[in-house]
Amino acid sequence: MKSILVADDNPNIVRVIQVSLELEGYQTILAYDGEEALEKAIQHQPCLIILDLLMPKKNGWQVLERLKINPVTSNIPVIVLTAMGQKEDQKKGWELGVSDYITKPFNPMRLLEVVNRTLKPRSRAAPYLPLESVPVTRVAIAGGGERGTAILQTLLGNSRIQILGVAETKHTDPMLNLARELKIPVFHDLYDLCHLPDVDLLIQTGTGLLDPDKVREISPDLEILKGYGAEFMWGMLEEKEASEERARALVKELHTKVKELNALYEAGKTMGSVMDLNLIFSSALTWMGDQINAESGLIFMNENGIFPARASRGNAPLFTASRSAKELAFKTGKPVLVSGVACDIPAVYVVLVPMATKEKKLGFAALLFSQKIEISEGDLTFLATLASQAAITIENAKLYEDATQSRKQIEALLSKVINAQEEERKRISAELHDSIAQSLVSMHTKIQTCQAVLTRAQEEGMVQLEELKKQISESIQEVRQIIFNLRPSTLDDLGLITTLEHYLKKFEAENRIQVDFQVYLEKKKLSPALETALYRIVQEALTNIKKHSYASKAEVCLKSGNGKIQLKISDNGKEGIQKDPDGGIHKGESVGITGMKERSALLGGTFKMERIPGGGTSILVEVPD
């Protein structure tokens, strides 16, 4: 694929040339100043260079001179594309060895023709034609008006045509004014054009302006373009203008699309690279605001039906969006331009941009203006695309945030479980040390004593053995109690109610706290996991009552209904469990209370603890049946 270097400091012109060349199948290399053009010409050695003369760092003349003295680039053909259309400039270009010289404004199609012609196979040794050998048609224009002005403007951009003069009887004709500015000779007698030396073609813009016989009498060899030929040329000019207008519109649309795609890419890259919601809100608002040059703006996010502002741009204050703003933002599901009064936002005009997924209304952006504006459908469509991308990013960030929070909760729960296990092991260790271990040591000592005594007195030895038997029985009972506390076998054999009855009677006897046990269950046998959880919750709750409440009475009520099991445990203690203003347990927040909460949550239920007016504490647990 042939490569062409395009060097021009105007990005719009570079883009137009790039699109035209690439559609033709060429590869383009772009440069925006003289130094960059030289570097890329040496580095890439393109087949052709299209060069502007007025550029920063090094102008086109300097670039041309450097190109021609460097053996690597000296044979690369150069087409000059510039607004400098004076004869002296063209002559200088030919002398420096340019392949062609095109003046701005230019026709992209004509540039393509010149490029294709320049790149046709030819001998590299073929010399460049000097300016004098380039065929030039010398033209005069008779008649002004719109047609004459259009013909003059068109011919000015062609390096193969030289305009010797124009003529019009009306002194204030616009064509004459244009010609005077361009220093083209102006005449008011149309026949004066026939006396111009070396004129090749006389263009007559209207019919009947000149007498052909009189023209032939003055200049027998002068060719006249008139009548049908002039009309045909006028039609071609109109078609050319229309084509150029369409081309300009297409280029403008192309620039808009490129800008939008660029913005979408950059917005996606910026928002997609972070998971911080505040940064995403700020980035989305910036991109949307920049697209329509909003003076300020806000992003309102849905928080349980309320829409507080989460990010602002410019001097917009943070506040909560009104109901009317929310309704207008989501009314059509598309961006909409409304007055500030209609949506209770302090601005003259507001563009509301909804941000939503298929399932959720996440929020909306409000872009504010202090004066009347007009927003194109294209801008609104682009805002909708940006908002959709922002909504997806926000949803992903929320999922990530929820996952992170869940992970932290799981880690915290695991830590508590490990701590609870360690505490339980510590308790079992202490119980074994303080009871079984001491008893076994004592029994060992007594056995030794019995051995010694039996050798002396049989009766005294029997007394010692009786005491030893009693101590062994007590140790067996202690072991059974520890086993029961770890996992009561009756829970598996007889069920929850029987096990609770046994446990509560023992609790009453050991702690002198009267416990009222009430049962209203529709079915007596529950799932093993549910029975274990309810038993542990009762066990932990009564342990807290024993340690903290100074209570004399407690109540345990177990009932079912509406697909739920409800467990209520209350006491008449003097000290209850207080709550902090933020909802956390202030006093008694032990492993036991945490365990009760987590057991309820694991069963898909709820846990509620509160102070009873007048004294005492109430615990209410509800879990699915």
Kindly tell me if the per-residue pLDDT of 291 is higher than 70: yes
Pair 446, 378 in one domain? yes
The rounded percent of the chain whose pLDDT value lies above 90 is 16
| HSE-up of residue 607 (Cα within 13 Å, Cβ side) | 21
Pair 73, 156 in one domain? no
pLDDT for the residue 491 = 78
pLDDT for the residue 554 = 94
- Cα–Cα separations (whole angstroms), residue 191 to 165, 185, 210: 11, 14, 7
244 belongs to a structural domain: no
Q: In this predicted model, what pLDDT tens digit does every residue of 30-60 receive, in sequence order?
A: 999 989 989 998 989 999 999 888 888 888 8
pLDDT for the residue 328 = 92
Mean pLDDT within 554-576: 89
pLDDT for the residue 267 = 63
Give the CATH number, domain containing residue 84: 3.40.50.2300
Sheet holding 78-82, edge to edge: 27-31, 3-7, 48-51, 78-82, 100-103
Asked which of 23-37, 68-82, 125-139, 351-365 is least confident by mean pLDDT, the reply is 125-139
258 belongs to a structural domain: no
249 belongs to a structural domain: no
Domain count, the chain: 4
Kindly tell me if the per-residue pLDDT of 186 is higher than 60: yes
453 belongs to a structural domain: yes
- Cα–Cα separations (whole angstroms), residue 127 to 91, 98, 99, 133, 324: 16, 11, 10, 12, 77
- Cα–Cα separations (whole angstroms), residue 260 to 151, 250, 263: 38, 15, 5
Pair 399, 544 in one domain? no
Q: How far apart are CA 479 and CA 477, in angstroms?
A: 5
Residue (of 301, 299, 291) closest to 352 by Cα position: 299
Pair 106, 173 in one domain? no
Asked which of 157-161, 274-278, 441-445 is least confident by mean pLDDT, the reply is 157-161
pLDDT for the residue 590 = 60
246 belongs to a structural domain: no
Kindly tell me if the per-residue pLDDT of 239 is higher than 80: no
402 belongs to a structural domain: yes
Mean pLDDT within 277-294: 84
Kindly tell me if the per-residue pLDDT of 187 is higher than 90: yes
| Of the residues 451, 486, 521, the one at which a domain ends | 486
pLDDT for the residue 580 = 39
* Highest mean pLDDT, choosing among 6-10, 101-105, 488-492: 6-10
Handedness of CA 430, 435, 440, 442 (dihedral sign): positive
Pair 155, 19 in one domain? no
Please name the residue ranges forming H helices in 24-107: 34-44, 60-69, 87-95
Give the CATH number, domain containing residue 154: 3.40.50.720
Pair 469, 579 in one domain? no
pLDDT for the residue 254 = 72
- 353 close to 330: Cβ distance less than 8 angstroms: no
Give the CATH number, domain containing residue 435: 3.30.450.40
Instruction: State the average pLDDT for the chain.
Output: 81
Pair 100, 167 in one domain? no
| Of the residues 452, 486, 520, the one at which a domain ends | 486
Mean pLDDT within 259-283: 70
Residue 486: pLDDT band with limits 50, 70, 90: low
The whole domain housing 93 covers 3-132
| Of the residues 187, 209, 237, the one at which a domain ends | 237
The 10 Å CB-count burial string (b at 16+, else e) for 295-323 is bbbbbbbbeeeebebbbbbeebeeeebee
Residue 455: pLDDT band with limits 50, 70, 90: low
Pair 540, 508 in one domain? yes
Q: In this predicted model, what pLDDT tens digit does every residue of 386-426 receive, in sequence order?
A: 888 888 888 887 888 788 888 888 777 777 776 676 677 67
Pair 414, 279 in one domain? yes
Pair 95, 214 in one domain? no
Pair 544, 451 in one domain? no
Mean pLDDT within 428-450: 72
Residue 332: burial class (beta carbons within 10 Å; 0-12, 13-18, 19+):
exposed
Asked which of 46-50, 287-291, 416-420, 549-553 is least confident by mean pLDDT, the reply is 416-420
User: Which tokens sit at 575?
Assistant: 């000290």
Asked which of 119-123, 215-219, 352-356 is least confident by mean pLDDT, the reply is 119-123
Give the CATH number, domain containing residue 506: 3.30.565.10
- Cα–Cα separations (whole angstroms), residue 268 to 154, 263, 352, 359: 45, 8, 21, 22
